[in-house]
């Protein structure tokens, strides 16, 4: 499966809907400090089912909902949709026939939340199952956060083994 598109609204610094396309090849996000580059990675982790608030650089899950900035009022809901091209047959059996698979996660300030696959409500477990074996996941080394390359290089043999085992699933 390949990353195709990420739609973000109400998540962290994204007040207006952002539609980020990932064309064939390498994509880079460039911008000044604090403009929200890492928030895009947080959105990606979150939609893939991340449960750790710390991994999302917040104190509580509510912190991921747009809290207001530059005269824009706080929002009550965050929603992220990740669309993947299903081009290598790594999707689970029930999704084999779909050319594209979309995953959506929603969170309301009330605490209510929802997960959807191809716009159909599903369980968090279904989201994990979808990514399992695909080489992508909120905690695999398909996503390497700032400072982690250094950690891998500086690791001793035992720690490095853990990194490799985690990457290998």
Contacts 24+ apart (CB under 8 A), 86-93: 86/1, 87/1, 87/2, 88/1, 88/2, 90/1, 90/133, 90/134, 90/135, 91/1, 91/130, 91/134, 92/129, 92/130
Check if the beta carbon of residue 64 is closer than 8 Å to that of residue 42.
yes
Residue (66 or 131) nearer to ligand ATP, CB: 66
The answer to whether 38 contacts ligand ATP (rule: CB under 6 A) is: yes
- Considering the complex, what minimum distance in angstroms separates the CB of residue 128 from ligand ATP? 25
The answer to whether 67 contacts ligand ATP (rule: CB under 6 A) is: yes
Determine which residue in the list 3, 5, 36, 152 makes contact with ligand ATP, applying CB under 6 A. Answer: 36
Residue (59 or 119) nearer to ligand ATP, CB: 59
Q: Order across the sheet with 77-85: list the strands.
A: 18-21, 2-9, 77-85, 100-108, 113-117, 120-122
The answer to whether 94 contacts ligand ATP (rule: CB under 6 A) is: no
The two tokens of residue 75 are 């929002």
Determine which residue in the list 21, 52, 63, 76 makes contact with ligand ATP, applying CB under 6 A. Answer: 63
Residue (31 or 150) nearer to ligand ATP, CB: 31
The answer to whether 66 contacts ligand ATP (rule: CB under 6 A) is: yes
The answer to whether 131 contacts ligand ATP (rule: CB under 6 A) is: no
| Residues 2-31 contacting ligand ATP, CB under 6 A | 12-13, 31
The answer to whether 33 contacts ligand ATP (rule: CB under 6 A) is: yes
Check if the beta carbon of residue 81 is closer than 8 Å to that of residue 90.
no
The two tokens of residue 82 are 């990740």
Q: How far is CA 169 from the centre of its chain?
A: 18
Binding site for ligand ATP (CB under 6 A): 12-13, 31, 33-39, 63, 65-67, 69
């Amino acid at each position: 499966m390949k990353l195709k598109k990420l739609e973000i609204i109400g998540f962290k610094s994204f007040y207006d809907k952002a539609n980020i396309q990932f064309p064939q090849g390498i994509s880079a996000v460039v911008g000044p400090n604090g403009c929200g580059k890492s928030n895009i990675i947080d959105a990606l982790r979150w939609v893939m089912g991340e449960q750790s608030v710390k991994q999302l650089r917040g104190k509580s899950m509510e912190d991921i909902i747009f809290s207001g900035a530059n005269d824009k009022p706080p929002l009550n809901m965050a929603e992220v949709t990740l669309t993947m091209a299903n081009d290598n047959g790594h999707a689970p059996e029930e999704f084999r026939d779909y050319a594209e698979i979309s995953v959506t996660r929603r969170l309301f300030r009330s605490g209510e939340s929802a997960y959807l696959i191809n716009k159909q409500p599903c369980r968090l477990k279904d989201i994990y199952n979808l990514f399992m074996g695909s080489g992508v996941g909120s905690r695999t080394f398909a996503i390497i956060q700032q400072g982690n390359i250094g950690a891998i290089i500086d690791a001793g043999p035992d720690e490095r083994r853990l990194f490799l085992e985690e990457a290998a699933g």
